[in-house]
């Protein structure tokens, strides 16, 4: 008998599928056994039931009529022939654009130098106003700023920092909350906390900018109830406002909360709000943004950590180490006299015995709490977020007890989909650090870092990280929304800006290779990951516009050799104060990316049935590849710059004319990597692909050398220094424990962690061989002294997994192929593709690893002599 274990709708589990934006949401589900077909049943709120047959187990297009705004019902699934239905899942569409309310605002102008407080808003629904027989009650809401809702004294929803950050001049997302259970007989009260957030707060670096989207903070909230007869009633609300106990707050700066100012019961019935003032009304239609449903789950509290060590400092401060660098806030529980103030400091690292706060730049990250003095008080900052592993409590009242302080991990709610494990603890820690850096940087949008005065959606970072992001978590919803913003900003700026949403804070605003290319590569990686053409269709105009723009910049020659470039950013040979000064030619990188994205757009055009476009972009790509070859390649396969990055780019992006060049370049790459003592000598562009380039050059062994190096610079150096996240620079912390002097030094940047994808694909050997995991390539590549490795990926077609283990020369391999996929296994040392069908498989084989060979310069280990074949500069 086949049972359905879990259902998702657009990567959302039951309980989070109210107010979804898609009229035809995709269904995914997991069954505990294979079945030939399934049935989906949808019982709509009007009582009608339909059953449709669905064939695949995963990623099924919505088989029913599209959902109208507000329409809902219950979905169940079962295997054909089975009596047992899954648990029903409630689904409900959002509001569409049926907004009937305006914004209400407690503040329409912020003083430039005055503290930025949070405000309270309150609306009373008088007794007798609500109809009888309510079956459902919903609040559809959003804000200029960040907000939290309360109904009748209790918090509504678990969103943190809602509505998140979008390009507010174009898009503002709303949330839909089920408040049915919170309603009571008699008077009902709806309340909201509201603060600046990204809309009116301080964002950006080099001083940053304030109030970029508007001078107001405002709430938009539409309250609706549905009665048993199916009628929906709109309940008008009148809002009053008052100051809140949050007297000052900023995302970067931190929050100041004075509990003496708390108005107990302010969002409950019976509260005396006579001192409150009416909120100003701001016409919704006076603002340009489309009000849209979210494409992803909100930012949420996802985990709570207890300190792993607590020490009292000489200064009297109490230092807490949470053992993990996170994005989040502290939650404190204390008893203190009224007026007693505790200050909470945050930092990622300790330097010279002190919190290392220099890298935070202007993001002071300090919260203060002043006690009300009425017994046990619990405080969690609402409208700020910090990147930290360490915290210090200043002026803590008395002893600190177990559980008094916890760290709350905060980021976008995402389904975990990818796992990797091996016999090497260093690699496992590296992988875990990548997972954490992704969690810490998916705070509503894909950011560079969670701690300093930046935290913006750098396009280059997610461009290189997208394959890893999509392997580790179901990140589609977040990326779908962010790509919409990218397209809007691209239209405004005339090119893809270097970060999205774009904030004019002084950073060069020019088209930049590898960064702007995110417009093409991110949607492409999403399509490859789930096989769904919708993202390509949605982003097609933006993808084309980017390639057209670059084609124009090359004067239609294909050679991109002028203007601003970030190049192989953060190449470790670049000086700390000039991270763009890579030893790889910037225009080589730019032209290579131009080839790559023009090819992708040509492929996307074919998939979308745009044959004319396909021909056009193919010819742009061909022109660019010829330009690349003329300008940067020698006939014999030398590549200008003669660096690991330039060779890797040419190999992985397939820019050579013939196999002999590929062979020579591969050999040269190995020479350079070996001569560099298997230390990293690549930046943002080279690092994510260097291991693939070595495999292309025929040497997984060299990739293992690089992966397992732990001297500076290397992936495992930070691990050896106790890192729990991926660092921005290989040497963010120097071997003597001091922080890199560069003013741009973060301990939580995912970009250089893009290698995690290689661990899954090549070390464990689990890779998609067709979009959406329709065909799977299992190709374990043992080496590096590893005795085992395994990976699992919950693909849109179900779970795919591999696990291999070595014992001497005997090697056993177990595979799992999802019910809706096929696959093949390539054994180490062979090229034969052994077909495998859905289900579980085991193989044993013999394998003698190169690292067992005493002639090979490896684990033991003997550093190769730095001899460079000198053929003269290409
Ligand atoms: C960011 C990077 C980004 C880079 C490009 C940095 O400040 O943190 O990750 O891609 O600038 O200039």
**Measured from the CA of 507, which atom of ligand 1 is nearest?**
12
Which residue's CA is the closest to the ligand 1 atom numbered 2? Answer: 448
User: Rounded distance, CA 748 to CA 723, Å?
Assistant: 9
CA-proximal residue: ligand 1, atom 3 (nearest): 458
Q: What per-residue confidence (pLDDT) applies to 577?
A: 84
Work out the pLDDT band at 850, boundaries 50, 70, 90. Answer: low
CA of 458 to the centre of ligand 1 (A): 6
| Ligand 1 site-directed mutation target among 450, 569, 685, most atoms within 8 Å of CB | 569
Q: Is the CB of 461 under 6 A from ligand 1?
A: yes
Task: Taking the CA atoms of 111, 113, 114 and 117 in sequence, report the sign of the dihedral they define.
Answer: positive
Spatial separation of the C-alpha atoms in residues 18 and 90, rounded to whole Å: 7
Q: When comparing pLDDT for 796 and 303, which is higher?
A: 303
For the Cβ of 752 lying below 6 angstroms from any atom of ligand 1, the answer is no
Residue 681 in tokens: 């000598």
* Ligand 1 pocket check for 379: Cβ under 6 Å: no
How far is Cα 205 from Cα 460, in angstroms, rounded to an integer? 17
Closest atom of ligand 1 relative to the 205 alpha carbon: 7
From 28-37, 250-259, 468-477, the region with the lowest mean pLDDT: 28-37
pTM of the model: 0.96
Which tens digits make up the pLDDT trace of 474-498? Answer: 999 999 999 999 999 999 999 999 9
Q: 59 pLDDT exceeds 80?
A: no
Scanning the structure block, which residue is given the tokens 């496992």? 428
Structure tokens at 300: 């949420």
φ and ψ at residue 37, rounded to 5 degrees: -155, 165
Measured by CA distance, the residue closest to atom 7 of ligand 1 is: 744
Q: Which of 367, 387, 391, 385 is CA-nearest to residue 308? A: 391
DSSP assignment letter at 606: H
CA neighbor of 410 nearest in space, from 628, 251, 286: 251
pLDDT at residue 625 in the model: 98
Is the torsion defined by CA of 138, 142, 148, 153 positive or negative? negative
How is residue 512 written in tokens?
């930049």
- Nearest atom (ligand 1) to Cα of 515: 10
Mean pLDDT along residues 623-638: 97
Query: Is 460 near ligand 1, meaning CB less than 6 Å away?
Result: yes
Nearest alpha carbon, ligand 1 atom 1: 448
Return the pLDDT at 591.
Answer: 98
502, 788 contact by CB (below 8 A): no
Of 156, 270, 268, 261, which Cα lies nearest the Cα of 219? 156
Residue whose token pair is 């300190």: 307
Q: How far is the CA of 117 from the centre of ligand 1 (A)?
A: 30
Q: Report the residue count for the chain.
A: 874
Q: Ligand 1, from 453, 458, 506: best to mutate by most atoms within 8 Å of Cβ? A: 458
How far is the centre of ligand 1, averaged over its atoms, from the C-alpha of 186 (Å)?
55
Ligand 1: centre distance to CA 514 (Å): 12
Using a 6 Å cutoff on CB, does residue 458 contact ligand 1?
yes
Res. 51: pLDDT tops 60 = yes
Where does the pLDDT of residue 851 fall: very low under 50, low under 70, confident under 90, or very high at 90 and above? low
Cβ–ligand 1 contact at 448 (below 6 Å) = yes
Rounded to an integer, the average pLDDT of 267-294 is: 97
CA-nearest residue, atom 8 of ligand 1: 448
Tokens of 262: 């708390």
For tokens 């539409």, name the residue: 222
Q: Is the CB of 449 under 6 A from ligand 1?
A: yes
For tokens 């190169």, name the residue: 850
Determine the distance separating the centroid of ligand 1 and the alpha carbon of 569, expressed in angstroms. 8
Q: Look up residue 560 and give its two tokens.
A: 């991109």
pLDDT-derived band of residue 316, with 50, 70 and 90 as boundaries? Answer: very high
Nearest to 433 by CA among 677, 755, 205: 755
Q: Which atom of ligand 1 is nearest to the CA of 749?
A: 9
Instruction: List, in order, residues 6 or more apart from 248 with CB less than 8 Å away.
Output: 115, 116, 117, 255, 256
How many angstroms separate the alpha carbon of residue 448 from the centre of ligand 1?
A: 7
Assess whether the previous peptide bond of 713 is cis (omega < 30° from 0). yes
Residue 580 has what pLDDT? 86
* Span from the CA of 451 to the centroid of ligand 1 (angstroms): 13
What's the whole-number mean pLDDT along residues 637-657?
Answer: 97
pLDDT tens, position by position, 553-585: 999 999 999 999 999 999 998 888 888 899 999
452 within ligand 1 shell (Cβ under 6 A): no
Q: What is the DSSP string of 717-782?
A: HHHHTT-SS--SSTTSB-TTSPBPSSS---S---GGGGGHHHIIIIII-EEESSGGGSEEEE----
Q: Which residue has the tokens 């994205």?
A: 597
Q: pLDDT-based confidence at 32, cuts 50/70/90? A: confident
d(CA 82, CA 136): 32
Burial of 145 (C-beta count, 10 Å sphere; 0-12/13-18/19+): buried
| Residue 569 Cβ < 6 Å to ligand 1 | yes
Instruction: Write down the pLDDT at residue 57.
Output: 61
For residues 282 and 241, the answer to whether their CB atoms sit within 8 Å is no
Ligand 1 closest atom vs CA 458: 10
Please give the positions annotated as active site.
Answer: 454, 728
Ligand 1 pocket mutation, candidates 208, 387, 461, 728, criterion most atoms within 8 A of CB? 461
- Pairing mode of beta strands 788-795, 798-807: antiparallel
pLDDT digits (tens, 9 = 90+) for 6-15: 888 887 887 7
pLDDT over 70 percentage in the chain: 97
* CA-closest residue to ligand 1 atom 12: 566
Share of the chain above pLDDT 90, in %: 87
Give the residue from 539, 537, 542, 457 showing the smallest Cα distance to 495.
Answer: 542
* Cα 317 to averaged position of ligand 1 atoms, centre (Å): 34
Atom of ligand 1 nearest to the CA of 580: 12
For 357-394, write each residue's pLDDT tens digit: 999 999 999 999 999 999 999 999 999 999 999 999 99
Q: Is the CB of 749 under 6 A from ligand 1?
A: yes
Residue 61 has pLDDT above 90, yes or no: no
- Ligand 1 atom at shortest distance from the alpha carbon of 461: 10
206 CA to centre of ligand 1 in angstroms: 13
Token pair recorded at residue 750: 């995912």
User: Over the chain, what is the mean pLDDT?
Assistant: 94
**Tens digit of pLDDT for each residue in 146-170?**
999 999 999 999 999 999 999 999 9
* pLDDT tens figures, 504-522: 998 999 999 999 999 999 9
- Over residues 285-290, mean pLDDT: 96
Residue 833: which pLDDT band, with cuts at 50, 70 and 90? very high
pLDDT at 870 over 50: no
Q: How far is the CA of 684 from the centre of ligand 1 (A)?
A: 10
Q: Looking at residue 277, what is its pLDDT?
A: 98
Cα-to-centroid distance, 338 and ligand 1 (Å): 44
Q: What is the pLDDT of residue 58?
A: 66
For residue 55, what pLDDT is reported? 74
Number of Cα atoms under 13 Å in the Cβ half of residue 276: 24
Residue 808 pLDDT level (bands cut at 50, 70, 90): confident
- Does the Cβ of 454 fall within 6 Å of ligand 1? yes
Mutate to test the pocket of ligand 1, among 206, 363, 387, 448 (most ligand atoms within 8 A of CB): 448
Residues 6+ apart with CB under 8 A from 591: 554, 558, 559, 560, 561, 624, 627, 628, 631, 632
**Residue 540: burial class (beta carbons within 10 Å; 0-12, 13-18, 19+):** buried
566 lines ligand 1 (CB under 6 A): yes
Distance CA 362, CA 452 (A): 7
Instruction: Enumerate helices (H) and strands (E) in the chain, giving the number of each.
Output: 14, 46
C-alpha 168/C-alpha 164 separation (Å) is 10
Task: Reply yes or no on whether the pLDDT at 871 is more than 60.
Answer: no
Q: What is the mean pLDDT of residues 440-445?
A: 98
- Residue 25 DSSP code: P
CA distances to 155, 247, 347, 357 from 364, in Å? 28, 16, 10, 8
Q: Does residue 873 register a pLDDT over 70? A: no
Given a cut of 70, is residue 71 above it in pLDDT? Answer: yes
Give the per-residue pLDDT at 865: 41
- pLDDT over 60 (residue 854): no
């Amino acid at each position: 008998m086949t049972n359905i274990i879990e259902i998702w709708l657009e990567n959302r589990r039951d309980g989070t599928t109210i107010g979804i934006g898609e009229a035809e949401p995709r269904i995914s589900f997991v069954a505990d056994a294979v079945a030939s077909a399934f049935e989906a049943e949808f019982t709509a709120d009007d009582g009608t039931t339909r059953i449709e047959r669905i064939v695949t187990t995963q990623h099924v297009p919505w088989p029913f009529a599209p959902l109208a705004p507000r329409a809902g019902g219950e979905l169940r699934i079962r295997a054909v022939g089975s009596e047992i239905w899954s648990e029903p899942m409630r689904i409900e569409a959002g509001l569409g654009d049926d907004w009937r309310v305006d914004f209400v605002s407690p503040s329409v102008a912020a003083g430039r130098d005055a503290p930025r407080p949070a405000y309270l808003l309150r609306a009373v629904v008088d007794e007798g106003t609500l109809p009888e027989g309510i079956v459902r009650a919903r609040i559809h809401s959003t804000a200029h700023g960040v907000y939290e809702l309360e109904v009748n004294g209790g918090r509504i929803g678990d969103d943190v920092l809602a509505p998140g950050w979008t390009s507010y001049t174009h898009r503002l997302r709303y949330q839909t909350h089920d408040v049915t259970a919170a309603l009571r007989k008699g008077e009902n009260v709806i309340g909201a906390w509201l603060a600046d957030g990204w809309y009116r707060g301080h964002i950006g670096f080099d001083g940053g900018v304030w109030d970029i989207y508007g001078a107001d903070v405002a709430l938009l909230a539409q309250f609706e109830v549905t009665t048993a007869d199916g009628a929906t009633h709109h309940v008008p609300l009148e809002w009053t406002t008052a100051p809140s106990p949050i007297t000052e707050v900023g995302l970067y700066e931190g929050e100041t909360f004075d509990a003496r100012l708390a108005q107990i019961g302010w969002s409950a019935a019976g509260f005396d709000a006579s001192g409150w003032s009416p909120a100003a009304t701001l016409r919704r239609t006076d603002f340009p943004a489309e009000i849209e449903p979210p494409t992803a789950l909100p930012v949420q509290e996802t985990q709570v950590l207890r300190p792993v060590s607590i020490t009292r400092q000489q200064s009297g401060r109490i230092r807490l180490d949470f053992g993990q660098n996170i994005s989040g806030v502290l939650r404190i529980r204390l008893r203190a006299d009224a007026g007693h103030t505790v200050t909470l400091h945050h930092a990622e690292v300790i330097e010279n015995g002190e919190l290392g706060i220099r890298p935070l730049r202007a993001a002071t990250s300090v919260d203060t709490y002043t006690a009300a003095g009425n017994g046990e008080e619990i405080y969690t900052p609402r409208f700020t977020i910090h990147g930290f592993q360490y915290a210090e409590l200043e002026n803590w009242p008395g002893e600190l007890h177990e559980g008094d302080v916890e760290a709350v991990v905060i980021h976008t709610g995402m389904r975990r989909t990818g796992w990797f494990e091996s016999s090497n603890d260093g690699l496992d820690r590296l992988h875990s650090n990548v997972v954490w850096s992704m969690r810490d940087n998916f705070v509503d949008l894909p950011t560079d870092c969670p701690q300093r005065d930046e935290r913006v959606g750098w396009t280059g970072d997610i461009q290189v990280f997208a394959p890893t992001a999509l392997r580790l978590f179901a990140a589609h919803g977040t990326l779908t929304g962010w790509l919409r913003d990218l397209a809007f900003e691209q239209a405004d700026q005339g090119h893809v800006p270097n970060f999205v949403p774009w904030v004019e804070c002084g950073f060069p605003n020019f088209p930049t290779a590898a960064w702007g290319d995110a417009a093409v590569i991110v949607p492409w990686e999403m399509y490859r990951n789930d096989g769904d053409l919708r993202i390509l269709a949605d982003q097609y105009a933006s993808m084309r516009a980017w390639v057209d723009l670059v084609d124009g910049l090359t004067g239609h020659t294909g050679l991109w050799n002028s203007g601003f470039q970030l190049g192989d950013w953060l190449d470790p040979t670049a000086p700390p104060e000039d991270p763009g000064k890579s030893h790889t030619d910037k225009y080589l990188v730019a032209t290579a990316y131009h080839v790559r994205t023009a090819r992708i757009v040509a492929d996307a055009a074919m998939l979308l049935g745009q044959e004319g476009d396909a021909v056009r972009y193919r010819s742009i790509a061909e022109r660019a590849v010829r330009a690349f070859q003329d300008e940067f390649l020698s006939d014999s396969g030398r590549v200008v710059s003669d660096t690991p990055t330039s060779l890797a780019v040419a190999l992985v992006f397939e820019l050579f004319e013939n196999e002999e060049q590929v062979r020579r370049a591969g050999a040269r790459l190995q020479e350079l990597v070996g001569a560099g003592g298997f230390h990293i000598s690549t930046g943002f562009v080279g690092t994510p692909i260097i291991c693939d380039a070595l495999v292309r050059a025929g040497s997984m062994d060299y990739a293992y050398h690089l992966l397992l190096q732990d001297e500076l610079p290397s992936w495992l150096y930070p691990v050896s220094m106790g890192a729990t996240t991926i660092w921005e620079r290989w040497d963010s912390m120097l071997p003597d424990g001091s922080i890199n002097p560069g003013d741009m030094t973060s301990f939580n940047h995912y970009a250089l962690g893009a290698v995690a994808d290689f661990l899954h694909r090549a070390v464990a050997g689990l890779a998609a061989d067709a979009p959406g995991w329709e065909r799977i390539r299992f190709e374990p590549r043992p080496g590096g002294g590893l005795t085992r490795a395994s990976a699992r990926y919950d693909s849109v077609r179900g779970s795919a997994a591999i696990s291999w283990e070595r014992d001497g020369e005997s090697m056993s391999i177990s595979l799992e192929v999802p019910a809706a996929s096929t696959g093949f296994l390539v054994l180490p040392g062979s090229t034969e593709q052994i077909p495998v069908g859905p289900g579980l498989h085991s193989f044993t084989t013999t394998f003698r690893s190169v690292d067992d060979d005493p002639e090979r310069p490896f684990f033991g280990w003997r550093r190769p002599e730095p001899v460079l074949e000198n053929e003269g500069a290409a």
